[in-house]
Amino acid sequence: MRFLSILFSLTALPAFATAYDRPIPQAQSATAEFWYTIASLTLLAALFVVYWLVNRR
């Protein structure tokens, strides 16, 4: 058991670690922006319908 703890502590040395590469965000395509607009408008329409149904009562 002691051997395993020594082995695991040696493999976790910072010398074996690689540097962290931050991900670079990609620009959105025109298609993604179009579908985001459609989804946003649909959500707003659904919220208006719920508002209208609640106020009818």
Q: What is the per-residue pLDDT for 5?
A: 72
Per-residue model confidence (pLDDT) at position 15: 60
| Structural element, H or E, at residue 43 | helix 30-56
Q: What is the pLDDT of residue 39?
A: 97
**6-50 pLDDT, tens per residue?**
666 666 666 666 777 888 888 889 999 999 999 999 999 999 999
For the cut 90, the answer to whether the pLDDT of residue 3 exceeds it is no
Taken in order 8, 10, 14, 20, is the CA torsion positive or negative?
Answer: negative
